[in-house]
Every structure is written in C-alpha cells, then in structure tokens.
Amino acid sequence: MVELQTSQLDTVFHALGDATRRQMLRDLSSGERTVTQLAQPHAISLAAASKHIKALESAGLIRRQVRGRTHICRLEPGPLASAQAWLNFYERFWTSRLDILDQLLREEDARKSPNPTGDKT
C-alpha cells in the first residue's frame, strides 16, 4: 500500500512539474474544458495538449469524458489533496526549525543589547 501511495505521489509531482500542465489544472479549476480550450492559451498542437492531458490523467488529476468527437476534461482534486498532505509534513518540519532559529536569534540579540540602565559593565 505504501509503495502504491509513493508511486502515485511520484506521478502527481511529475505531472505538476510542468508549467503547461499546472496552467491546465488552473484553467480546469473554474470548470470543464475541451482539449482545444486547454491547448489554446499555450499555442500548442492538439497532439501536444493530448500528451499533457494524458500525464494529468495518469496522475489522476483530471478525468476525460468523450461526448461525440469532443473530449471534455474536468479536475479531480483528490490527488492534489494527497500531495498537499505530504507537503504539510515538511511545512510543519521547517516551521518548527525556523521557530527554534528565531528564538535563538532573539536570545543572541538580547545578550548583545546594551544594559537598559545604561551601565557599561
């Protein structure tokens, strides 16, 4: 089960590693789009758009439905939530480390500050 989750996260992060695919996801966040609509802002061919869409589909980030000759794509947020949960661990890790550093720097500044009474001892 853990290996499956790791493999799925790898696929999600790989899909998110491309700016075109991230923009496609952003576009889909406001509603369904056709493959043509997803390709248009990037000035890429439908074949290139289809490759990007397949990468997003493989990661489970989008679903494609065929209506006649039109392919409609919609966002599937589940895998994004899994990626966010993974990232949250590291956010907590770094926040705690930065809080410790902040405290150490404040203590150091307090030791370096002149005596508030003006005595130079």
* In a domain? residue 100: no
With vertex at residue 84, the alpha carbon angle to CA 38 and CA 75, rounded to the nearest 5 degrees, is 25
Q: Residue 34 belongs to a domain with what CATH number?
A: 1.10.10.10
Please give the biggest Cα pair distance in the chain: 86
* In a domain? residue 54: yes
* In a domain? residue 115: no
* In a domain? residue 32: yes
Give me the pLDDT at residue 51, please.
Answer: 96
* In a domain? residue 56: yes
pLDDT tens profile 98-115: 888 888 899 888 898 876
pLDDT tens profile 21-68: 999 999 999 999 999 999 999 989 999 999 999 999 999 999 999 999
* In a domain? residue 29: yes
Give me the pLDDT at residue 121, please.
Answer: 52
Give me the pLDDT at residue 113, please.
Answer: 80
Q: Is the pLDDT of residue 120 over 60?
A: no
Structure letter (DSSP) for residue 68: T
- Taking CA atoms, 10 is separated from 15, 23, 75, in Å, by 9, 19, 19
Boundaries of domain holding 26: 2-77
pLDDT tens profile 76-99: 988 988 888 888 888 888 888 888
* In a domain? residue 121: no
How many domains is the chain partitioned into structurally? Answer: 1
Give me the pLDDT at residue 115, please.
Answer: 64
Q: Is the pLDDT of residue 4 over 50?
A: no
